[in-house]
């Protein structure tokens, strides 16, 4: 089976998720600066989740660039990833509307952790399908980022109950780690052309 429809479907779901989050930026009733003030945390969480979903789309793009064929397991591993990503608008809105309270902040981390695990499962399913000598297996080699991110998310969940800003700082840190697209994969792509 070819990967075209899996890519198109994933692009569609991520495009919708990244866009419907903006519906939580409820239009204020007033027209003054004070009307905008309560929207600030919602806006910041929106921007964070936009970057978060953008990273997943970027990495998904990079990863499937090295994939030729897919099978049923890869399709379900991909749907599993999309399931956890689909909860992003929910935790984004819950955290944003409650000024980063402890439980919503921890829930945000939990969804991020589960998405990171799902991404790892998907990557493993692809490598298993392609064999250990595949281009992707070589490219992700000692995948430091992929192992570090779940650890940081796992740490952020209990730390949200100590102080929510610790977790928020960790989320921003993970975002920054990933913002640079994986140089190993980019290098490999560049080397092949």
* DSSP-derived 3-state class of residue 181: coil
> What per-residue string of b and e applies to 144-168 under the rule 16 or more CB within 10 Å gives b?
eebeebbebbbebbebbeeebeebb
13 is a contact residue toward a copy of itself (CB under 8 A): yes
The CA R_g of the chain, rounded to the nearest whole Å, is 18
Query: Near a copy of itself by CB under 8 A, which window of 46-54, 113-121, 134-142, 166-174?
Result: 46-54
158 is a contact residue toward a copy of itself (CB under 8 A): no
Q: How far apart are CA 191 and CA 187, in angstroms?
A: 6
Query: Near a copy of itself by CB under 8 A, which window of 21-29, 116-124, 142-150, 168-176?
Result: 21-29
| Count of residues near a copy of itself by CB under 8 A | 58
Q: How far apart are CA 74 and CA 10, in angstroms?
A: 12
Give the footprint of a copy of itself on this chain (CB under 8 A): 1, 5-9, 11-20, 22-25, 27-28, 31-33, 36, 47, 50, 54, 57-58, 61-62, 65, 71-72, 75-76, 79, 82-83, 86-87, 89-90, 93-94, 97-98, 101-104, 179-181, 186, 189
């Amino acid at each position: 089976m070819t990967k075209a429809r899996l890519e198109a479907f994933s692009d569609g779901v991520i495009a919708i998720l990244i866009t419907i989050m903006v519906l939580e930026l409820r239009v204020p009733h007033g027209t003054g600066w004070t009307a905008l003030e309560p929207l600030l945390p919602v806006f910041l969480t929106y921007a964070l989740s936009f970057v978060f979903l953008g990273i997943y789309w970027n990495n998904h793009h990079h990863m499937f660039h090295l994939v030729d064929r897919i099978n049923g397991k890869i399709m379900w591993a991909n749907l599993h990833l999309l399931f956890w990503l689909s909860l992003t608008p929910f935790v984004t809105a819950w955290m944003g509307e409650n000024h980063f309270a402890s439980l919503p902040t921890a829930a945000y981390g939990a969804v991020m952790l589960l998405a990171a695990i799902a991404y790892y499962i998907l990557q493993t399913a692809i490598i298993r399908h392609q064999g250990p000598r595949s281009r992707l297996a070589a490219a992700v080699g000692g995948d430091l980022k992929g192992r570090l991110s779940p650890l940081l998310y796992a740490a952020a969940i209990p730390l949200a109950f100590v102080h929510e800003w610790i977790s928020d700082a960790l989320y921003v840190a993970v975002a920054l780690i990933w913002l640079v697209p994986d140089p190993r994969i980019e290098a490999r792509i560049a080397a092949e052309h």
